[in-house]
Amino acid sequence: MLEKITLGAGCFWCIEAAFNSVRGIESAVSGYMGGSAATANYQAVCGGDTGHVEVVQLTYDSNLIDIKLILEMFLYLHDPTSMDKQGNDVGSQYRSVWFYYTPQQQQVAEQLIGSLNATDAYSGEPIVTQIRAAEPFYAAESYHQGYVNANPQQPYCSLLVVPKLHKFRKEFSAYLKQPGL
């Protein structure tokens, strides 16, 4: 059964590229969610004018991939203890947020994050990931879709994103559409 989940974890380029390589993910689309403005675009979101977060909306087959595994991958791909900052990206548009569509998705997130916080899984730093009901999604501009695959030599991608993707693909190799990538 196809379902959606929308994730904010810093720059959307890395999150999109990682999840597009995972078996059971039908699509990963970069975009914006969670702001007060009626529309969103890259310039306005990066300027902090809309309150939106850079996100990736996943459409996944719940018969092929479990929502808990998606959450574990999401937490692995970024620092969920960092408020409004991921690496070199700073601002509320880079906050860690899990936008859920179903009560089950909400429950899984609350239970796993609660459990990780209770066990000091992040060296005593609390997970600050927001768990929020999904809001209107605005797809990012077309040049953002598939950005890492189209621009692997771009300095931001080659220095920051590509190494993170290699680490992700090694950790979750059993779940990739094409193992070994």
Domain count, the chain: 1
Lowest pLDDT segment from 11-15, 43-47, 125-129, 170-174: 43-47
Q: Decide if 180 is inside a domain.
A: no
What pTM, to 2 d.p., does this model score?
0.93
Q: Is residue 14 part of a domain?
A: yes
When pLDDT is cut at 50, 70 and 90, the band that residue 106 belongs to is: very high
Residue 110 maps to which CATH number? Answer: 3.30.1060.10
> Does residue 110 sit within a domain?
yes
Structure confidence at residue 88 (pLDDT): 79
86: in domain = yes
Which DSSP symbol is given to 79? -
Active site residues: 11
The mean predicted confidence, pLDDT, of the chain is 92
Calpha distance 66→29 (Å, rounded): 19
What is the domain extent for residue 56? 2-175
In a domain, 181, yes or no: no
User: Confidence class of residue 180 from pLDDT cuts 50, 70 and 90?
Assistant: low
CB hemisphere CA count around 77 (13 angstroms): 28
Residue 17 lies in a domain: yes
